[in-house]
Amino acid sequence: MSQALDEIKIGGLGASRKRVEDDRFIRGRGNYTDDITLPGMLHMEILRSPLAHARIKSIDASKAWDIPGVRLVLTGEMMATRNLAWMPTLSYDTQAVLATDKVRFQGQEVACVIADDPYIAKDACEAIDVEYEPLPVIVNPVQAVADGAPVIRDDKENQPDNVIYNWEVGDKAGTDRAFEQADVISKLKLHYPRSHPSPIECCGSIADFNRATSKLTVYMTTQAPHIIRAAVAMVAELPEHLIRIVSPDIGGGFGNKVPVYPGYVCSILASILLERPVKWIEDKSGNLISTGFARDMYLDSEMALRKDGKILGVRIHADADHGAFFSDAQPSKFKIGLLHSAFAAYDIPAGHLTARGTYSNKAPGGVAYRCSFRVTEAMFFQERMMQVAAVDLGIDQAEFRRMNFVQDEQFPYRTAFGFLTDSGQYAKCLDVGLKAVGYEEFRQQQAEARKRGKLLGLGISTMTEPLGAGNSREYDILGIKMFDSADLKVHMTGKAILRTGAKSQGQGHETTWAQIVAHELGLPAEDVVVEEGDTDTAPFGMGTYASRSTPVAGAAVAMVSRKIRAKARKLAAHLLEVSEEDIEWELGRFYVRSAPDRGVTIQECAMAAYSNMPDGMEPGLENTAYYDPPNLTWPFAVYIVTVEVDPETGVWDVLNMVAVDDCGVRINPMIVEGQIMGGLTEAYAMANMQFITFDAEGNCVGSNYMDYLLPTAWETPGFELHSEVVTPSPHHPIGAKGVGECAAVGGPAAFVNAVMDAISDTGVRNIDMPLLPDRVWEAITYRRDVSGAPPVRAEDDAGRSGGVVPPGQN
Amino acid sequence: MAPPTVARKGRPEMTIVYEDRGDDATSDVPVNRIKFSINGKKMVAEVEPRLLLSHLIRRGVGLTGTHMGCDTTNCGACTVLVDGRPVKSCTMLAVQVDGRTVETVEGLAGASELHPLQEGFKAEHGLQCGFCTPGMMMAAKALLAENPDPTEDEVRWALSGNLCRCTGYQNIVKSVLWAADKLRTQGS
């Protein structure tokens, strides 16, 4: 008679365990970076450039120095004497810490003030006089490569122009042949606009250099504390063992808190010079204008089609605008991230992708915002292209996708761009989604409504994505391989502490990692405390972004638990006085195969590890595992949105939003659903209202919360989530796949496709996001595509407002 | 047990030390003396007129549960109750709470139990990173004081001044309705 513990009761896999983190957050007892106060702490404020591209003629900080309470004013010139005016980026480029010769984007850091009080520091910033000589501005890749374009990075040797890289993947010859054989060729050009992850908490750091111990401690908002430690060791030339990075509670990351920002470096230098803790907390405007933005990619693609709807080949060209410095955190081999994961869910024999990255006078960025390393761009392009191709062929949207899906039996499947997708049941997910949204009835309603001049639309988007970067053969950041880690110490009373190299910013690792331990060892989840974020105690890991934690760190948690269980098995054999071969395991207990009533609990084994070891066994029950994932995990989703569009105003409302997510085994269903809803909301935001761009002078339009609109509880639609389809990852230790970013990756195209479907009578092929009312209105009224690419134009040749109009200027 | 009442002259904090930068330096800085109550506790403060209420709460009083997320009064993470009404504390000056009562997230829980809103947010997974949560709960508290049985739409409208990036709001609404239910049931 089994004495195995009930896995759900002990909080194992599949339990919607309530969150451990909540206990402190609901009491207002979170420990975010700005909540931390150290004795003698000073405050830092940054002075930013008002111009997008200008030579610095002079900086006069004398009036700032005179303000009582000001301790230090740092400029680029001062940093340069310590070789700190420039720093290496995570993409093998360099980035200005404080501007020396020129400013290269509006909002760039020019000087900083450290003072007793943050208000004094702000006062002092305003007292610094900077003289600028404006230079011509570049705000898009076309301008960047035009004849006579100013070279933005004239600080670099061997940089004669504004091109950062050219990259290519796939089979050009095979793809050309496919296009020669095509019955129909569909084309699409669009701009995936700049977006900003904008977590509610801004970035910040408290640098604390202790002269007596020579140790530097930095509390900071980072999703990847160990990467920061390595970066600080290189940049500040301090020994790595005397650097401690502590990432406390983080109020949202979404990729915004991965890069190394000048503010961190300045606070570190200031602390070293002043030998006191220095706190820097940016404000929202600073965050929006200068920190890692996302997207800003131009796509030009073509699809070769047979007239029955079979896709023969696909060509993609992408132009990526990286801003003034190439500072993205992404695997170094892939210049355009994992953009070539596009079309991975479809069985397409030939593909060719080319990409070019360029500099511009904007903040550095490109990879961020729940993008899984550019997979947001890949899947958006994919589904917009699928929509347009289906229209060109006159085939139903759902059927066109279904007939081109990779079939269940084809896994593992090698895509035309070289990825190996691990598993999926694509058609089943589509079936669930179509049924949930009432596809047939909706099409009938839509046709009826159209006769009455009412515009209803339905948009489908599917996505599969490569999550869990990644295997050491192909993935690294600055040469550091992208494994991850878990360290588990089981105490003598059977309680445990687990630390990993990941860093939660709301994903609930303190709750979910303990569930994996419960599953593997039978220790109740509440008996396992989880810590992350302190490089002095956490095992080395590459942090949390790109939905890599469950696939990599979660796998490490399972593996270290298994190492512990293997040792516990030996202890059990010793306690039960049988040989190890006679021992069986059930959840929480080892027993003698031939006499199942004779057993010992895992807790008894833990006690034995400290008090009753067999001869020759090392005492203790602690271990560490580093996990190099054999492959990425590939979740799949179908998102279906229905909308109604008002032709008089261009306003569109969501009627229904159905999400079918197959992310393999779900550790905590409640938390997975929370992640999906969050991602869908960001998808809605990108499609509907988030708007941050540049005018011809490089002024950032929308770099504050009055103009950069995030949806509130009022606008955000409700979601219908489906979890019926579960295809475990065949290679992940617990069959789980990543999921945190899926909805942000696949969601936007569903909204856009729905609106385009509603206005399909106009023949309009594309409206760039966000689908603001005036853009939709323009498309309907003038029956033309609407682009959103910068620069924002105030007037066009016809003398009326054309193209993009910033919010508030209607 | 109430603390012993001992007549005591002078300020509780008898020792304040700061750097001597010459009398000229400090003579121009105006300081207002204000009296207010925060989470039921009466306080006195000496503040610059331009000090924001949010900074008085976080740095002055030392209650860091009220968070600051923006600089344009849009995000609502700093929402507290002033005389029972929800206010974005970043858009109010400290001097404006002279003679008034302030309630923050730290005052929600009773001596031995959590407020139903706190329980509801945990029960319904209404938070992920937790940064917007104090503001959400304070805004919700004000709603439920005025409207103990709100519809979903009324909850969404009442919280439309509080931004959340993580949850998509659906569970936040469920959390507030859970709390409304419990408050009505226990009649408090």
Q: Do A25 and B133 touch (CB under 8 A)?
A: yes
Q: Do A674 and B161 touch (CB under 8 A)?
A: no
Question: Count of residues for chain A?
Answer: 810
**CB of B99 less than 8 A from some CB of A:** no
pLDDT for the residue numbered B25:
57
Q: Do residues A653 and A611 both lie within one domain?
A: no
Q: Do B160 and A714 touch (CB under 8 A)?
A: yes
A527-531, A545-549, B9-13, B32-36: range with lowest mean pLDDT: B9-13
Residues in B touching A26 (Cβ below 8 Å): 105, 114, 118, 121-122, 127, 130, 133, 137
- Given the DSSP bridges, would you call strands A636-645 and A652-662 parallel, antiparallel or unpaired? antiparallel
How confident is residue B12, by pLDDT bands cut at 50, 70 and 90?
low
Q: Which residues of A are catalytic?
A: 223, 370-371, 741
Determine the average pLDDT of the residues in B22-41.
Answer: 82
Residue B7 to chain A, least CA–CA distance (Å): 32
Q: Do B121 and A505 touch (CB under 8 A)?
A: no
Q: Do residues A79 and A223 both lie within one domain?
A: yes
Beta bridge partners of A471: none
Q: Is residue A177 part of a domain?
A: no
Structure tokens at A692: 């941050």
Q: What is the DSSP string of chain B?
A: -PPPP----S-S----------HHHHHT---EEEEEEETTEEEEEEE-TT-BHHHIIIIII--TTS----SSS-S-TTEEEETTEEEEGGGSBGGGGTT-EEE-GGGTS-SSS--HHHHHHHHTT--SS-SSHHHHHHHHHHHHHH-SS--HHHHHHHTTTS--SSS-SHHHHHHHHHHHHHHHHHT-
pLDDT at residue A785 tops 50: yes
Structure tokens at B47: 């503040």
pLDDT for the residue numbered B19:
72
Structure tokens at A466: 């490569």
Determine the average pLDDT of the residues in A343-347.
Answer: 97
Q: Is the dihedral of CA A700, A704, A707, A713 positive or negative?
A: positive
Q: Do A507 and B157 touch (CB under 8 A)?
A: no
pLDDT for the residue numbered A329:
86
Q: Do residues A650 and A755 both lie within one domain?
A: yes
CATH number at residue A579: 3.30.365.10
* A109: three-class secondary structure by DSSP: strand
Determine the average pLDDT of the residues in A159-165.
Answer: 97
Residues in B touching A115 (Cβ below 8 Å): none
Give me the residues of A, 104-133, that contact B with CB < 8 A.
119
Q: Do residues A394 and A379 both lie within one domain?
A: yes
Which amino acid appears at position A420 of this protein?
Answer: L
pLDDT for the residue numbered A808:
33
pLDDT at residue A795 tops 90: no
Round to whole Å and give the CA distance between A554 and A671: 15
Contacts of A159 (CB under 8 A, 6+ apart): A151, A153
pLDDT at residue B10 tops 80: no
Residue A698 to chain B, least CA–CA distance (Å): 22
Determine the average pLDDT of the residues in A704-712.
Answer: 95
Structure tokens at B103: 């309630």
Q: Do residues A620 and A641 both lie within one domain?
A: no
pLDDT at residue B23 tops 90: no
pLDDT at residue A613 tops 90: yes
Nearest to A26 among B70, B122, B162 (CB): B122
Give me the residues of A, 38-77, that contact B with CB < 8 A.
68-69
**Domains contained in chain B, CATH given:** 29-107 (3.10.20.30), 116-186 (1.10.150.120)
Nearest Cα neighbor of A632 from A534, A709, A691, A552 is A552
A624's torsion region: left (phi>0), alpha (psi -120 to 50) or beta? Answer: beta
Q: Is residue A543 part of a domain?
A: yes
pLDDT digits (tens, 9 = 90+) for A400-409: 999 999 999 9
pLDDT digits (tens, 9 = 90+) for A505-526: 999 999 999 999 999 999 999 9
Q: Do residues A583 and A553 both lie within one domain?
A: yes
Round to whole Å and give the CA distance between A694 and A289: 11
Beta bridge partners of A711: none
Q: Is residue A116 part of a domain?
A: yes
Domain that holds residue A46: 33-135+202-250+257-290
Q: Do residues A272 and A343 both lie within one domain?
A: no
Round to whole Å and give the CA distance between A145 and A151: 10
Question: Count of residues for chain B?
Answer: 188
> Integer distance in angstroms from the first to the last C-alpha of chain A?
74
Q: Is residue A707 part of a domain?
A: yes
Determine the average pLDDT of the residues in A768-779.
Answer: 97
**CB of B156 less than 8 A from some CB of A:** yes
Round to whole Å and give the CA distance between A293 and A403: 37
H-type alpha helices, A394-425: 397-404
**Peptide linkage before A728 cis (omega within 30 of 0):** no
By the 8 A CB rule, do A664 and A736 touch? yes
Give the best residue of A24, A25, A532, A670 to mutate against chain B (max B CB count within 10 A): A25
Q: Do residues A572 and A516 both lie within one domain?
A: yes
**CB of A212 less than 8 A from some CB of B:** no
Q: Is residue A529 part of a domain?
A: yes
pLDDT for the residue numbered B29:
72
pLDDT at residue B147 tops 80: yes
Q: Look up the ipTM and state it.
A: 0.95
pLDDT digits (tens, 9 = 90+) for A242-286: 999 999 999 999 999 999 999 999 999 999 999 999 999 999 999
**CB of A19 less than 8 A from some CB of B:** yes
Q: Do residues A308 and A282 both lie within one domain?
A: no
Residues in A touching B169 (Cβ below 8 Å): 681, 712-713, 716
pLDDT digits (tens, 9 = 90+) for B115-139: 999 999 999 999 999 999 999 999 9
> Integer distance in angstroms from the first to the last C-alpha of chain B?
24
Q: Do residues A417 and A452 both lie within one domain?
A: yes
Q: Is residue A173 part of a domain?
A: no
Give burial (CB, 10 Å; 0-12/13-18/19+) of B37.
middle
Q: Do residues A111 and A231 both lie within one domain?
A: yes
* A428: three-class secondary structure by DSSP: helix
**CB of A274 less than 8 A from some CB of B:** no
Q: Do residues A424 and A346 both lie within one domain?
A: yes
Domain boundary among A290, A308, A340: A290
pLDDT at residue A600 tops 70: yes
Nearest to B65 among A23, A28, A251 (CB): A28
CATH number at residue A225: 3.90.1170.50
By the 8 A CB rule, do A282 and A204 touch? yes
Total domain count, chain A? 3
Contacts of A760 (CB under 8 A, 6+ apart): A391, A457
Over its C-alpha atoms, chain B yields an Rg (Å, rounded) of 19
Q: Do A677 and B170 touch (CB under 8 A)?
A: yes
Q: Is residue A331 part of a domain?
A: yes
pLDDT at residue B18 tops 90: no
pLDDT digits (tens, 9 = 90+) for B71-113: 999 999 999 999 999 999 999 999 999 999 999 999 999 989 9
Q: Is residue A306 part of a domain?
A: yes
pLDDT at residue A805 tops 90: no
pLDDT for the residue numbered A802:
35
Percent of chain A scoring above 90 in pLDDT: 94
